[in-house]
Amino acid sequence: MRPRRWTTRKSVRVYKTPIFDLHRHQRTHPERPPHDFFVLDVPDWVNIVPLTSKDEVIMVRQFRHGIEGFTLEIPGGMIDPDDRHPRAAARREMVEETGYDSDKITPLGRVHPNPAIQGNYCHSFLARDVYQTAKPNLDSNEETQVVNVPLEKIGGLIASGKITHALVIVAFSFLEVCGPPRERRRMRSG
Amino acid sequence: MRPRRWTTRKSVRVYKTPIFDLHRHQRTHPERPPHDFFVLDVPDWVNIVPLTSKDEVIMVRQFRHGIEGFTLEIPGGMIDPDDRHPRAAARREMVEETGYDSDKITPLGRVHPNPAIQGNYCHSFLARDVYQTAKPNLDSNEETQVVNVPLEKIGGLIASGKITHALVIVAFSFLEVCGPPRERRRMRSG
């Protein structure tokens, strides 16, 4: 059976937060009774793999409020209205969170973080030959520790559960498919 | 600078939906003013790669309300209170959504879908030698089309943007690292 589209009859924003809004959509279907579906209205996100000329990934350790614990991640965040392009947002987040910069930034791919309850994309990028340009400049509620991780160790950190953020794993998965700068299979040896 | 933990002073459930609740946590930090953080309270999720003895993946095409469009996914969903184990939930979702079953189900890994705003895990599994046992038995608001996809085509479908669900890509990424049953590198040739 080919699934059919639901049509929105009425939408209400039922709650507003600084980083997403919650909407209730009343939707109808050719053969089913009307139903309410709840969706987060959230801007597109970005993340970026900052890679040095020595094949080290510049990562950040930070406290995450969803899990009430610490994660090891690549830089990332929301696209701001001032960002001209997802790439610009990714570069901004990288510089803010790590103090590293690069002008060799290429797209890796984009995914739906959660198509069931969010409409947004997360766009992933690779920054090659990153160099330290400043100290991290963080939002008032952000606090990160910059950690240099050899690219060849990433596979092991994912397999052992040290890197747990789905969108970070997606970015590394894209990187592996696209091929890191020097040696395509190097990440797998970790 | 080593990031420090925020401590919860007060939590309020500000909105309740059938699939998640929205909480506001007032949290404090050793060196920052108190701040409100919004977190989705949501059960752990599961997904599962159903693989036939001929290395075909049993996938589902369905309408997703977050993106208001159709996706190509592996089976998955929330762990119900009646599920004894994440593995049991994954098997139940596979049978419900595809009509295929297997008693050879092994864990692939688990991730945080979004540690910034959710505390839950998504647990991924592999089901080997799946066989058709029934027609799909779906929730009243679910409607899926079962699609058999050769495992070797998966890499191409991800690279070309036909598979966009981050947690589905994570499951295939784990599968590639863990190695599919027969030929470890087969997925990459697609």
Chain A touched by B122 (CB under 8 Å): yes
Looking at the partner chain, which of A1, A20, A165 has a beta carbon nearest the beta carbon of B143?
A1
Residue A181's pLDDT band (cuts 50, 70, 90): very low
Residues of B in contact with A109 (CB under 8 A): 158-159, 161
User: Phi, psi at residue B177, to the nearest 5°?
Assistant: -65, -45
Is B61 within 8 Å of A165 when comparing Cβ atoms?
A: no
pLDDT at B31: 86
pLDDT at A134: 83
Judged on CB neighbours under 10 Å (0-12, 13-18, 19+), A20 is buried
DSSP state at residue B97 = H
Task: Give A103 or A135, the one with higher predicted confidence.
Answer: A103
Residue B183's pLDDT band (cuts 50, 70, 90): very low
pLDDT at A108: 95
Assembly ipTM: 0.91
pLDDT at B182: 45
Distance, in Å, from the CA atom of A108 to the CA atom of B167, rounded to the nearest integer, reads 17
Looking at the partner chain, which of B17, B111, B117 has a beta carbon nearest the beta carbon of A169?
B111
At A108-125, the pLDDT tens digits run: 999 999 999 999 999 999
Residues of A in contact with B66 (CB under 8 A): 39-40, 112, 114-119
Chain A touched by B1 (CB under 8 Å): yes
Nearest CA in chain B to A160: B109
Is B115 within 8 Å of A66 when comparing Cβ atoms?
A: yes
Phi-psi region of A37 (alpha: psi -120 to 50; beta: other; left: phi over 0): beta
Size of interface A-B (CB pairs under 8 A): 188
pTM across the whole model: 0.92
pLDDT at B178: 64
Using a pLDDT cut of 70, give the percent of chain B over it. 91
Rounded mean pLDDT, B50-69:
96
- Please check whether residue B103 is in contact with residue B94, taking contact to mean a CB–CB distance below 8 angstroms: no
Contacts 24+ apart (CB under 8 A), A5-9: A5/A29, A5/B63, A5/B68, A5/B70, A6/A35, A6/A37, A6/B63, A6/B65, A6/B68, A8/B68, A9/A34
At B122-175, the pLDDT tens digits run: 999 999 999 999 877 766 667 889 999 999 999 999 999 999 999 999 999 999
Chain B touched by A165 (CB under 8 Å): yes
pLDDT at B144: 86
pLDDT at A31: 86
Residues ≥6 apart with Cβ < 8 Å to A81: none
Give the Å distances, CA to CA, from B189 to B35, B51, B151: 49, 17, 9
pLDDT at B185: 41
Nearest CA in chain B to A41: B66
Tokens matching residue A70: 């610490």
Place of tokens 């008032």: A140
DSSP state at residue A99 = S
pLDDT at B77: 97
CA angle B187/B72/A41 to nearest 5° reads: 125
Distance, in Å, from the CA atom of B174 to the CA atom of B155, rounded to the nearest integer, reads 13
Place of tokens 């060196």: B31
Looking at the partner chain, which of B3, B17, B155 has a beta carbon nearest the beta carbon of A145?
B3
Distance, in Å, from the CA atom of A56 to the CA atom of A132, rounded to the nearest integer, reads 13
